[in-house]
Amino acid sequence: MANAPKEWQPPGSDQEFVFKDIASAPEWIDKNWASYDGGPALAIPKGDVLSNDAYTTQTARVGDTVRFIAATKSKAAHFEVIEGDPTVVGEGTKRPAQETGATLEDQLKGGSIAADDLGADAKAQVAGRTPAMKETVEGKTAAPPKK
């Protein structure tokens, strides 16, 4: 077949990169290893990568360092995944109020969001579920200050 994908070939020497996304992964990474594990990830082969035996995988997430260690006389070629600092990488976990698992009412009462942060649909949801908060979401009464 003329359009058959190339078979993955290991690099000839030790290599390393920090995983950001599959598009920016180096050429020596098989794009078929793209995965998802709470966000973009790579399912990297674990163990001897040159073996034809079945293999397991290890997960590299955004911010993790992926190392390829070339074969030596005493050690088989393999990958290592070094966990990145989760507090530095990524865009955080705060989601819009309408999409979070916490109730809008609790967030309004606790001051983590203000009524102005809510869209029209979210305001209608709060007013319908909790009539006592209807005046708060409509701006007629003051809500606790935003934290």
* pLDDT tens-place string over residues 42-75: 999 888 887 777 778 899 998 899 999 998 888 8
- Cα separation, 145 vs 73, in Å, equals 66
- Residue 94 Cα to chain centre, angstroms: 13
Among candidate residues 6, 11, 17, 4, the one with its CA nearest the CA of residue 67: 17
The Cβ of residue 76 has, within 10 Å, a number of other Cβ atoms equal to 13
Q: What is the pLDDT of residue 89?
A: 44
> For 89-100, what is the mean pLDDT?
49
Q: What is the pLDDT of residue 112?
A: 79
- pLDDT reading at 109 higher than 70: yes
- Cα separation, 25 vs 68, in Å, equals 13
- Cα separation, 22 vs 75, in Å, equals 28
Q: Given strand 78-82, what is the order of strands in its sheet? A: 15-18, 65-69, 78-82
Among candidate residues 17, 145, 12, 18, the one with its CA nearest the CA of residue 90: 18
- Cα separation, 69 vs 67, in Å, equals 6
- pLDDT reading at 17 higher than 50: yes
- Cα separation, 56 vs 79, in Å, equals 12
- Cα separation, 47 vs 56, in Å, equals 8
> Which residue is it, tokens 């507090």?
87
**Band (105; pLDDT cuts 50, 70, 90):** confident
